Structure 1
Amino acid sequence: MLFIGERVRLRKLSSEDAGTYHEWRNDLEVMHYTSPSLDVFTLADTESFITSIAESTTSKSYIIEEIKTGKPIGITSLINIDFTNRNAECIIDIGDKDYWSKGFGREAFQLLLEFAFKELNLHKVVLRVFSFNERAIKLYQKLSFEEEGRLKEQLYRNGAWHDVVLMGLLKRKYKRNS
Protein backbone atom coordinates (compact mmCIF):
# COMPACT_ATOMS: atom_id res chain seq x y z
CA MET A 1 0.00 0.00 0.00
CA LEU A 2 1.34 3.39 -0.91
CA PHE A 3 0.43 6.73 0.67
CA ILE A 4 1.50 9.92 -1.04
CA GLY A 5 1.66 13.46 0.31
CA GLU A 6 3.26 16.59 -1.10
CA ARG A 7 6.83 15.78 -0.04
CA VAL A 8 6.68 12.29 1.46
CA ARG A 9 5.22 8.92 0.70
CA LEU A 10 4.69 5.96 3.00
CA ARG A 11 5.43 2.45 1.85
CA LYS A 12 5.17 -0.79 3.74
CA LEU A 13 8.21 -1.72 5.82
CA SER A 14 10.04 -4.72 4.34
CA SER A 15 13.05 -6.87 5.13
CA GLU A 16 15.01 -4.83 2.58
CA ASP A 17 14.79 -1.86 4.98
CA ALA A 18 16.77 -3.66 7.69
CA GLY A 19 20.07 -1.90 7.00
CA THR A 20 18.61 1.61 7.01
CA TYR A 21 16.36 0.97 9.99
CA HIS A 22 19.29 -0.63 11.81
CA GLU A 23 21.32 2.59 11.43
CA TRP A 24 18.48 4.68 12.89
CA ARG A 25 17.85 2.19 15.68
CA ASN A 26 21.48 2.42 16.77
CA ASP A 27 21.75 6.20 16.51
CA LEU A 28 21.61 7.24 20.17
CA GLU A 29 20.57 10.79 19.31
CA VAL A 30 17.56 9.52 17.35
CA MET A 31 16.61 6.96 20.00
CA HIS A 32 17.08 9.48 22.81
CA TYR A 33 13.71 10.96 21.88
CA THR A 34 11.76 7.79 21.17
CA SER A 35 13.13 4.69 22.85
CA PRO A 36 12.86 3.96 26.58
CA SER A 37 16.01 1.85 26.23
CA LEU A 38 19.24 3.07 24.68
CA ASP A 39 20.47 -0.43 23.92
CA VAL A 40 22.60 -1.14 20.88
CA PHE A 41 21.05 -3.72 18.55
CA THR A 42 22.69 -6.23 16.27
CA LEU A 43 21.61 -6.41 12.63
CA ALA A 44 20.07 -9.80 13.44
CA ASP A 45 18.01 -8.13 16.22
CA THR A 46 16.75 -5.55 13.76
CA GLU A 47 15.95 -8.13 11.08
CA SER A 48 14.02 -10.19 13.63
CA PHE A 49 12.15 -7.09 14.79
CA ILE A 50 11.13 -6.22 11.21
CA THR A 51 9.98 -9.80 10.60
CA SER A 52 7.83 -9.71 13.74
CA ILE A 53 6.20 -6.45 12.63
CA ALA A 54 5.59 -7.74 9.11
CA GLU A 55 3.91 -10.89 10.43
CA SER A 56 1.83 -9.12 13.07
CA THR A 57 -1.92 -8.83 12.57
CA THR A 58 -2.10 -5.93 15.03
CA SER A 59 0.48 -3.55 13.58
CA LYS A 60 1.17 -1.75 10.33
CA SER A 61 4.54 -0.09 9.74
CA TYR A 62 5.63 2.19 6.94
CA ILE A 63 8.91 3.66 5.78
CA ILE A 64 8.72 7.40 5.20
CA GLU A 65 10.40 8.37 1.93
CA GLU A 66 11.11 11.82 0.58
CA ILE A 67 9.36 11.90 -2.80
CA LYS A 68 11.94 14.06 -4.57
CA THR A 69 14.88 11.73 -3.84
CA GLY A 70 13.18 8.44 -2.89
CA LYS A 71 15.37 8.48 0.21
CA PRO A 72 14.07 6.72 3.35
CA ILE A 73 13.97 9.27 6.16
CA GLY A 74 11.95 7.61 8.90
CA ILE A 75 9.34 5.14 10.01
CA THR A 76 5.77 5.44 11.26
CA SER A 77 3.47 2.74 12.59
CA LEU A 78 0.16 1.82 14.06
CA ILE A 79 0.72 -0.78 16.76
CA ASN A 80 -1.49 -2.70 19.16
CA ILE A 81 -4.41 -2.24 16.78
CA ASP A 82 -7.62 -3.24 18.52
CA PHE A 83 -10.15 -3.77 15.73
CA THR A 84 -12.94 -4.59 18.19
CA ASN A 85 -12.70 -1.29 20.05
CA ARG A 86 -11.33 0.58 17.00
CA ASN A 87 -8.19 2.05 18.54
CA ALA A 88 -4.43 1.82 18.12
CA GLU A 89 -1.18 3.32 19.30
CA CYS A 90 0.86 5.31 16.80
CA ILE A 91 4.57 6.03 16.60
CA ILE A 92 6.90 7.99 14.37
CA ASP A 93 10.67 8.27 14.14
CA ILE A 94 12.44 10.52 11.69
CA GLY A 95 15.68 8.58 11.57
CA ASP A 96 17.54 10.92 9.22
CA LYS A 97 18.40 13.95 11.36
CA ASP A 98 18.78 16.15 8.25
CA TYR A 99 14.96 16.03 8.05
CA TRP A 100 14.22 17.06 11.63
CA SER A 101 12.11 20.19 12.22
CA LYS A 102 11.26 20.65 8.53
CA GLY A 103 7.66 19.42 8.49
CA PHE A 104 8.35 15.96 7.07
CA GLY A 105 7.24 14.22 10.27
CA ARG A 106 4.01 16.19 10.36
CA GLU A 107 3.17 15.31 6.77
CA ALA A 108 3.97 11.62 7.30
CA PHE A 109 1.96 11.50 10.52
CA GLN A 110 -1.02 13.12 8.78
CA LEU A 111 -0.90 10.39 6.12
CA LEU A 112 -0.86 7.73 8.85
CA LEU A 113 -3.78 9.36 10.67
CA GLU A 114 -5.78 9.61 7.43
CA PHE A 115 -5.27 5.88 6.97
CA ALA A 116 -6.16 5.13 10.59
CA PHE A 117 -9.37 7.14 10.57
CA LYS A 118 -10.59 6.83 6.98
CA GLU A 119 -9.41 3.38 5.88
CA LEU A 120 -9.27 1.41 9.13
CA ASN A 121 -12.18 3.41 10.57
CA LEU A 122 -10.49 3.67 13.96
CA HIS A 123 -12.25 5.70 16.62
CA LYS A 124 -9.12 6.73 18.51
CA VAL A 125 -5.34 6.72 18.28
CA VAL A 126 -3.01 7.18 21.22
CA LEU A 127 0.69 7.76 21.64
CA ARG A 128 3.39 8.08 24.26
CA VAL A 129 5.96 10.87 24.23
CA PHE A 130 8.76 11.76 26.61
CA SER A 131 8.07 15.00 28.47
CA PHE A 132 11.39 16.53 27.34
CA ASN A 133 10.52 16.01 23.66
CA GLU A 134 8.89 19.42 23.28
CA ARG A 135 9.20 19.44 19.47
CA ALA A 136 7.10 16.26 19.22
CA ILE A 137 4.55 17.41 21.80
CA LYS A 138 3.98 20.63 19.82
CA LEU A 139 3.48 18.60 16.64
CA TYR A 140 0.95 16.29 18.29
CA GLN A 141 -0.96 19.25 19.74
CA LYS A 142 -1.12 20.86 16.26
CA LEU A 143 -2.66 17.60 15.03
CA SER A 144 -5.31 17.90 17.80
CA PHE A 145 -3.91 15.28 20.19
CA GLU A 146 -4.76 15.99 23.82
CA GLU A 147 -2.87 14.98 26.92
CA GLU A 148 -4.75 12.20 28.69
CA GLY A 149 -2.30 11.43 31.46
CA ARG A 150 1.28 11.06 32.58
CA LEU A 151 3.40 8.27 33.86
CA LYS A 152 5.32 10.25 36.47
CA GLU A 153 9.10 9.87 36.48
CA GLN A 154 8.86 6.82 34.24
CA LEU A 155 12.08 7.41 32.31
CA TYR A 156 15.59 8.00 33.59
CA ARG A 157 17.62 9.86 31.00
CA ASN A 158 20.77 12.01 31.33
CA GLY A 159 20.82 11.81 35.11
CA ALA A 160 17.21 12.91 35.67
CA TRP A 161 13.72 11.45 35.85
CA HIS A 162 11.18 12.36 33.15
CA ASP A 163 7.47 11.77 32.66
CA VAL A 164 5.98 9.83 29.79
CA VAL A 165 3.05 11.84 28.44
CA LEU A 166 0.03 9.88 27.19
CA MET A 167 -1.86 11.63 24.41
CA GLY A 168 -4.96 10.66 22.47
CA LEU A 169 -6.89 11.77 19.43
CA LEU A 170 -10.50 10.94 18.69
CA LYS A 171 -11.53 10.63 15.05
CA ARG A 172 -14.13 13.39 15.40
CA LYS A 173 -11.47 15.84 16.66
CA TYR A 174 -8.89 15.17 13.96
CA LYS A 175 -8.43 17.99 11.50
CA ARG A 176 -6.42 17.10 8.38
CA ASN A 177 -5.02 20.56 7.73
CA SER A 178 -4.55 21.68 11.32
Structure 2
Amino acid sequence: MFSSKRLVLRKVDKNDVELYHSWRNNMDVMYTTNPSLDLYSLEDTRSFVENNLTDSRSSKSYIILQKEEDKAIGITSLINIDYKNRNSECIIDIGEKDYWGQGYGSEALQILLNYAFLELNLHRVSLRVFSFNHKAIKLYKKLGFKEEGISRQCLFRNGKWEDIVHMGILHNEYLGE
Protein backbone atom coordinates (compact mmCIF):
# COMPACT_ATOMS: atom_id res chain seq x y z
CA MET A 1 0.00 0.00 0.00
CA PHE A 2 2.82 2.43 0.76
CA SER A 3 5.02 1.69 -2.21
CA SER A 4 5.17 1.86 -5.97
CA LYS A 5 7.68 0.77 -8.57
CA ARG A 6 10.20 3.48 -7.60
CA LEU A 7 9.07 4.79 -4.21
CA VAL A 8 8.28 3.84 -0.64
CA LEU A 9 6.48 6.09 1.82
CA ARG A 10 7.49 5.74 5.44
CA LYS A 11 6.05 7.55 8.42
CA VAL A 12 7.88 10.72 9.47
CA ASP A 13 9.62 10.30 12.81
CA LYS A 14 11.61 12.54 15.14
CA ASN A 15 14.87 11.44 13.46
CA ASP A 16 13.77 13.29 10.31
CA VAL A 17 14.03 16.76 11.86
CA GLU A 18 17.40 17.70 10.33
CA LEU A 19 16.46 16.31 6.90
CA TYR A 20 13.15 18.19 6.88
CA HIS A 21 14.95 21.28 8.19
CA SER A 22 17.26 21.26 5.15
CA TRP A 23 14.26 21.22 2.80
CA ARG A 24 12.26 23.72 4.84
CA ASN A 25 15.08 26.27 4.64
CA ASN A 26 15.81 25.79 0.94
CA MET A 27 14.18 28.76 -0.80
CA ASP A 28 14.16 27.01 -4.19
CA VAL A 29 12.17 24.16 -2.67
CA MET A 30 9.79 26.36 -0.66
CA TYR A 31 9.23 29.05 -3.30
CA THR A 32 6.27 27.20 -4.81
CA THR A 33 4.82 25.73 -1.62
CA ASN A 34 5.41 27.94 1.43
CA PRO A 35 3.52 31.24 1.57
CA SER A 36 5.83 32.84 4.12
CA LEU A 37 9.29 31.94 2.74
CA ASP A 38 10.79 32.32 6.20
CA LEU A 39 14.02 30.80 7.42
CA TYR A 40 13.49 28.56 10.44
CA SER A 41 15.74 27.65 13.32
CA LEU A 42 16.39 23.98 13.96
CA GLU A 43 14.33 24.27 17.15
CA ASP A 44 11.41 25.78 15.20
CA THR A 45 11.56 22.87 12.79
CA ARG A 46 11.80 20.33 15.61
CA SER A 47 8.69 21.82 17.21
CA PHE A 48 6.85 21.83 13.87
CA VAL A 49 7.74 18.20 13.17
CA GLU A 50 6.67 17.07 16.64
CA ASN A 51 3.44 19.09 16.80
CA ASN A 52 2.29 18.81 13.19
CA LEU A 53 3.90 15.77 11.60
CA THR A 54 4.56 13.09 14.20
CA ASP A 55 2.24 13.70 17.16
CA SER A 56 -0.84 15.13 15.48
CA ARG A 57 -4.07 13.14 15.41
CA SER A 58 -5.27 15.14 12.40
CA SER A 59 -2.35 14.52 10.06
CA LYS A 60 -0.42 11.63 8.56
CA SER A 61 2.98 12.51 7.15
CA TYR A 62 5.40 10.38 5.14
CA ILE A 63 8.96 10.67 3.92
CA ILE A 64 9.22 9.80 0.23
CA LEU A 65 12.06 7.32 -0.32
CA GLN A 66 13.49 6.59 -3.75
CA LYS A 67 13.88 2.78 -3.69
CA GLU A 68 16.88 2.26 -5.95
CA GLU A 69 19.12 4.64 -4.00
CA ASP A 70 17.29 4.27 -0.66
CA LYS A 71 17.30 8.07 -0.52
CA ALA A 72 14.80 10.40 1.14
CA ILE A 73 13.70 12.84 -1.56
CA GLY A 74 10.63 14.56 -0.13
CA ILE A 75 7.61 14.57 2.10
CA THR A 76 3.88 14.16 1.58
CA SER A 77 1.05 14.46 4.06
CA LEU A 78 -2.63 14.31 4.66
CA ILE A 79 -3.37 17.24 6.96
CA ASN A 80 -6.46 18.59 8.70
CA ILE A 81 -8.05 15.15 8.53
CA ASP A 82 -11.73 15.37 9.42
CA TYR A 83 -12.78 11.79 10.12
CA LYS A 84 -16.44 12.66 10.71
CA ASN A 85 -16.88 14.34 7.32
CA ARG A 86 -14.21 12.17 5.64
CA ASN A 87 -12.16 15.09 4.29
CA SER A 88 -8.48 15.95 4.25
CA GLU A 89 -6.01 18.26 2.59
CA CYS A 90 -2.84 16.91 0.98
CA ILE A 91 0.57 18.46 0.59
CA ILE A 92 3.77 17.39 -1.12
CA ASP A 93 7.31 18.70 -1.40
CA ILE A 94 10.08 17.04 -3.36
CA GLY A 95 12.89 18.43 -1.25
CA GLU A 96 15.80 17.08 -3.30
CA LYS A 97 16.02 19.21 -6.44
CA ASP A 98 17.91 16.51 -8.38
CA TYR A 99 14.65 14.52 -8.36
CA TRP A 100 12.40 17.26 -9.74
CA GLY A 101 10.65 16.72 -13.07
CA GLN A 102 10.98 12.92 -13.05
CA GLY A 103 7.44 11.96 -12.01
CA TYR A 104 8.23 11.27 -8.37
CA GLY A 105 5.64 13.77 -7.15
CA SER A 106 2.92 12.13 -9.21
CA GLU A 107 3.92 8.68 -8.03
CA ALA A 108 4.03 9.72 -4.37
CA LEU A 109 0.62 11.41 -4.58
CA GLN A 110 -0.89 8.29 -6.16
CA ILE A 111 0.34 6.25 -3.19
CA LEU A 112 -1.05 8.86 -0.77
CA LEU A 113 -4.41 9.07 -2.56
CA ASN A 114 -4.72 5.27 -2.63
CA TYR A 115 -4.24 5.32 1.13
CA ALA A 116 -6.66 8.22 1.60
CA PHE A 117 -9.47 6.70 -0.45
CA LEU A 118 -8.94 2.94 -0.14
CA GLU A 119 -7.76 2.64 3.47
CA LEU A 120 -8.99 5.73 5.32
CA ASN A 121 -12.18 5.73 3.23
CA LEU A 122 -12.08 9.50 2.81
CA HIS A 123 -14.71 11.09 0.62
CA ARG A 124 -12.72 14.15 -0.47
CA VAL A 125 -9.10 15.29 -0.63
CA SER A 126 -8.25 18.91 -1.34
CA LEU A 127 -5.12 20.97 -1.89
CA ARG A 128 -3.97 24.52 -2.44
CA VAL A 129 -1.47 25.49 -5.11
CA PHE A 130 0.07 28.82 -6.09
CA SER A 131 -1.29 30.01 -9.43
CA PHE A 132 2.20 30.40 -10.94
CA ASN A 133 3.06 26.75 -10.23
CA HIS A 134 1.84 25.57 -13.63
CA LYS A 135 3.64 22.20 -13.50
CA ALA A 136 1.94 21.30 -10.21
CA ILE A 137 -1.50 22.38 -11.48
CA LYS A 138 -1.01 20.22 -14.58
CA LEU A 139 0.02 17.26 -12.39
CA TYR A 140 -2.96 17.66 -10.06
CA LYS A 141 -5.39 17.82 -13.01
CA LYS A 142 -3.75 14.70 -14.47
CA LEU A 143 -4.42 12.90 -11.16
CA GLY A 144 -8.09 13.95 -11.34
CA PHE A 145 -8.20 17.05 -9.13
CA LYS A 146 -10.66 19.71 -10.21
CA GLU A 147 -10.32 23.43 -9.68
CA GLU A 148 -12.82 24.51 -7.03
CA GLY A 149 -11.99 28.16 -6.50
CA ILE A 150 -9.40 30.87 -6.24
CA SER A 151 -8.22 33.05 -3.39
CA ARG A 152 -7.40 36.14 -5.38
CA GLN A 153 -4.15 38.05 -4.85
CA CYS A 154 -3.39 36.60 -1.43
CA LEU A 155 0.27 35.79 -2.05
CA PHE A 156 3.02 38.33 -2.73
CA ARG A 157 5.96 36.97 -4.77
CA ASN A 158 8.66 38.85 -6.65
CA GLY A 159 6.92 42.19 -6.35
CA LYS A 160 3.48 41.12 -7.54
CA TRP A 161 0.29 39.59 -6.20
CA GLU A 162 -0.51 35.97 -7.02
CA ASP A 163 -3.59 33.81 -6.52
CA ILE A 164 -3.94 30.53 -4.66
CA VAL A 165 -5.92 27.87 -6.53
CA HIS A 166 -8.09 25.48 -4.51
CA MET A 167 -8.49 22.00 -5.99
CA GLY A 168 -10.19 18.83 -4.85
CA ILE A 169 -10.91 15.27 -5.81
CA LEU A 170 -13.74 13.04 -4.64
CA HIS A 171 -13.57 9.34 -3.86
CA ASN A 172 -15.69 8.31 -6.86
CA GLU A 173 -13.69 10.58 -9.21
CA TYR A 174 -10.42 9.02 -8.09
CA LEU A 175 -11.80 5.52 -8.61
CA GLY A 176 -13.22 6.51 -12.02
CA GLU A 177 -16.81 5.73 -11.06
Coarse TM-score class (shorter-chain normalised):
over 0.9
Residue 101 of structure 1 deviates from its aligned partner by 0.7
Residue 54 of structure 1 deviates from its aligned partner by 1.1
Q: TM-score, normalised to structure 2's length?
A: 0.97
Deviations 1:41-83 (A, max 9, x none): 0111111111112111100000000001110000000000000
Q: 2:147 matched to which residue of 1?
A: 147
Return the alpha-carbon distance in structure 1 between the equivalents of residues 175 and 121 of structure 2.
15
Return the alpha-carbon distance in structure 2 between the equivalents of residues 175 and 97 of structure 1.
31
Q: 2:10 matched to which residue of 1?
A: 11
Residue 137 of structure 1 deviates from its aligned partner by 0.3
Q: 1:165 matched to which residue of 2?
A: 165
- Preserved CA contact (<8 Å) 1:143 1:175: no
Residue 175 of structure 1 deviates from its aligned partner by 4.7
Superposition pairs of residues 114-133 of structure 1, within 5 angstroms:
114-133=114-133
Return the alpha-carbon distance in structure 2 between the equivalents of residues 159 and 6 of structure 1.
41
Q: 2:73 matched to which residue of 1?
A: 73
Return the alpha-carbon distance in structure 2 between the equivalents of residues 32 and 175 of structure 1.
32
Q: 1:28 matched to which residue of 2?
A: 27
Q: 1:54 matched to which residue of 2?
A: 54
Q: TM-score, normalised to structure 1's length?
A: 0.96
State the identity %: 57
Q: Which SS does the other structure have where 1:10 is aligned? A: strand
Q: 1:100 matched to which residue of 2?
A: 100
Structure 2 counterpart of 1:51, one-letter code: E
Say how many residue pairs are matched.
175
Deviations 1:88-126 (A, max 9, x none): 000000000111110011000000000000000000000
Where does structure 1 differ by over 3 angstroms across 4 or more consecutive aligned residues?
A: none
- Preserved CA contact (<8 Å) 1:11 1:62: yes
Residue 3 of structure 1 deviates from its aligned partner by 1.0
| Alignment root-mean-square deviation, CA | 1.0
Structure 1 counterpart of 2:97, one-letter code: K
Return the alpha-carbon distance in structure 2 between the equivalents of residues 41 and 175 of structure 1.
39
**Unaligned regions of 5+ residues in structure 1, if any?**
none
Return the alpha-carbon distance in structure 1 between the equivalents of residues 154 and 111 of structure 2.
30
**Unaligned regions of 5+ residues in structure 2, if any?**
none
Q: 1:85 matched to which residue of 2?
A: 85
